[in-house]
Amino acid sequence: MREFIVEADGGSRGNPGPAGYGSVVIDAATGETLMEAAEYIGVATNNVAEYKGLVAGLKAAHQLDPAASVHVRMDSKLVVEQMSGRWKIKHPDMKPLAAEAARVFPASQVTYEWIPREKNKHADRLANEAMDAGKRGLAWSPSASTADLDTRAARSAAVREPSGPPGDAAAGAARARAALAGAPGGGAFGTSEAGETADRRAASSAAGGAASTGARTPPVGWAVPADLGAPATFVLLRHGETALTPEKRFSGSGGTDPSLSEVGREQAERAAAAFAARGTIQAIVSSPLKRCQETAYAVAARLGLDVHLEEGLRETDFGAWEGLTFGEVRERHPEELTAWLASPDAAPPGGESFAAVSRRVAATRDRLTAAYAGRTVLLVTHVTPIKTLVRLALGAPPESLFRMELAAASVSAVAYYRDGNASLRLLNDTSHLR
Residue 3 a catalytic site member: no
Q: How open is the CA angle 25-30-35, to the nearest 5 degrees?
A: 20
Specify whether 315 is catalytic. Answer: yes
Distance (Å, whole) CA 141 – CA 154: 24
CB 252 within 8 A of CB 351: yes
Which one of 239, 241, 322, 382 is the catalytic residue? 239
For residue 20, give the nearest of 106, 128, 121, 108 by alpha carbon.
128
The residue length of the chain stands at 434
Q: CA-CA-CA-CA torsion for 326, 327, 331, 336, nearest 10 degrees?
A: 20
Angle between helices 121-135 and 46-64 (to 10 degrees): 110
For residue 367, say whether it is annotated as part of any ligand binding site: no
E strand map for 268-319: 283-286, 307-309
- Selecting among 315, 322, 336, 352, the annotated active-site residue is 315
DSSP 159-221: TTSPP-STT-HHHHHHHHHHHHTT------TTTTS----HHHHHHHTSSTT-SSSS------S
**Separation of alpha carbons 281 and 292, rounded Å:** 17
The CA angle 368-428-387, to the nearest 5 degrees, is: 50
CA distance 274 to 272: 5
Helix (H) or strand (E) holding 71: strand 69-74
d(CA 303, CA 53): 25
Q: How many helices (H) and strands (E) does the chain have?
A: 13, 11
Numbered residues of the known binding site:
291
By annotation, the residues acting in catalysis are 239, 315
